[in-house]
Chains A and B, each alone.
Chain A
């Protein structure tokens, strides 16, 4: 059966269309103003209210309370016997030795151990079969891991401006704490710097109580208990870790630098006590620790080569000295962006600055000679890292511009093609020229536990042939000790030859560019000289001829 329903409605049931007509006005309501209400009327005070459509946001920073760990030890003293009660101990031993159980046990255990002793002598079960096979680390991505964090115990925010590892590899490092910004030192800031032991990050091992904050410091290379430090007030001072925190001697104020000692280096000498220091006041001074109280051994004012007395003085920010390049040679990086190379024993004192390498846009923060190729050096300044050849005035390798300012860098002592840089990004960057030139092969090792990136101020690699540790100090005052992966430390196959070839190639490229630039210049000069000559090439004879013709014409 079909289910259907038909609804039918007729037209007339829809209703009719409306019909509109005009009509006269009709009063419905008459409301008169109320005078009483008008009196009560007052003007409301204006109020301003703002409404924003964007969601509200706020920033919070939370850090857990630092756990202060204190290592404690315990000395074991034998049994409960008094120290001099030897008899009691002997009696106890005798008693035990008579015990049958004891004898049985010892004999049983003796046979058991004897088997193992024999086994050990017969075969080396821990023998390494593949010890000679060279390791293949390249397949493994380079990495760093944070080993420990050393916090400035002073409680005031001071930057860790310099780090120096004790050269004997004991895992001790000295850290200089200071604030370099002009007049930004908080009132009552302690001026003490500290020596730390990596194994004991809870508390510093020793204090270096300098009268003025240390800006730079370094362990002496010969006597490893001596720490030299450059102070903010321009004096150089040194400490003996055996003698306590107070400085042993300091340079006299009248002969010291007039600005903070920004960098110093131990120079090669028989006693290992000589050093050179540089400051932003534009002077380089040579000192001997044994005669620190007197005048400096030598002094030099930093000026461009050949500028003479009238030339502008350049502020020194970093000193580079390495005996491999020559015991009298040195380099100074300046605030103005030029690297000055010098020779201390030049015949004429005016010739002590032998070369200037310009290119950086602002102050140089680090200089490092390649430990494998002393002719090549690395400079870090503005946003770039540059590699130079001593013989050329232009950099052979310039890194791409970094997003953040760079504040330090050094070559790896064990791998010819690796260098490390630090900067305001707060991360340690590793450049592996063996892999790629245009990009850092690793960016890692945040300096601070908080997510805030603190600018890094100092970098130092642990001493030794193949150091696995690097210390990076940030302006917040913490020093992070990083462990570098094996691939970053161990030399790769053929690496030295490859890097050497690369540096030579870049040098010759730069040399050719220089040559072609010189040629182009000479050509342009020649061109200019030729166009400057008078255009009409009339000779004297021709002029005489013309004159004669003119005279004849007049006579006619």
Chain B
């Protein structure tokens, strides 16, 4: 079952967790495809996070001697939020799922 409904289900499930502020799925060009955040904010997140993910990936690949290593996950902890960045780098497709969570939410 490869359907848009699956994406919707995933997003809904994530959003139902405690403290989750928003979710955004971003393509390789930094364009938010599906988001629960405010559109303006989503664009900002998408642009900044995709750049950061790219930089981090370069670093990981540079460090790996044979180039076989790749970035799996990036967690950015700030005073207010935790941004979880899950990038997926395929041959031609490149998506990033980012979840903004407020960890100390009651």
Contacts and interface: CB of A to CB of B under 8 A. Distances in A.
Interface of A: 76, 78-79, 92-93, 96-114, 116-118, 120-121, 124, 126
A114 B14 contact: yes
Given A97-B33, A97-B34, A100-B2, A114 B97 contact: no
B18 A121 contact: yes
A383 to B, nearest CB: 47
Of the listed residues B19, B31, B34, the one surrounded by the most CB atoms of chain A closer than 10 A to its CB is B31
A113 B86 contact: yes
B93 interface: yes
Interface string B25-68: 10101111110000000011011100000000000000000000
A518 B13 CA distance: 87
Given A101-B90, A103-B2, A121 B19 contact: yes
A108 B88 contact: yes
25 contacts: A78-B46, A79-B31, A93-B33, A93-B34, A97-B4, A101-B93, A102-B33, A103-B3, A103-B7, A105-B90, A106-B6, A106-B7, A106-B34, A106-B97, A107-B10, A108-B88, A109-B88, A109-B95, A109-B97, A110-B10, A112-B86, A113-B86, A113-B99, A117-B99, A124-B103
Given A96-B33, A124-B103, A106 B95 contact: yes
Contacts of B7: 97, 102-103, 106-107
Contacts of A79: 29-31
Closest 5 CB pairs of A and B: A110-B10, A109-B97, A76-B47, A109-B86, A105-B88
Dominant secondary structure at the A interface: helix
A152 to B, nearest CB: 36
A103 B4 contact: yes
Contact of B31 (A92, A113, A124): A92
Interface residues of B, number: 41
A121 B82 CA distance: 11
A525 B99 CA distance: 89
A121 B2 CA distance: 30
Interface string B82-106: 1010101010010101010101100
A124 to B, nearest CB: 7
A133 to B, nearest CB: 21
Contacts of B29: 79
B62 to A, nearest CB: 23
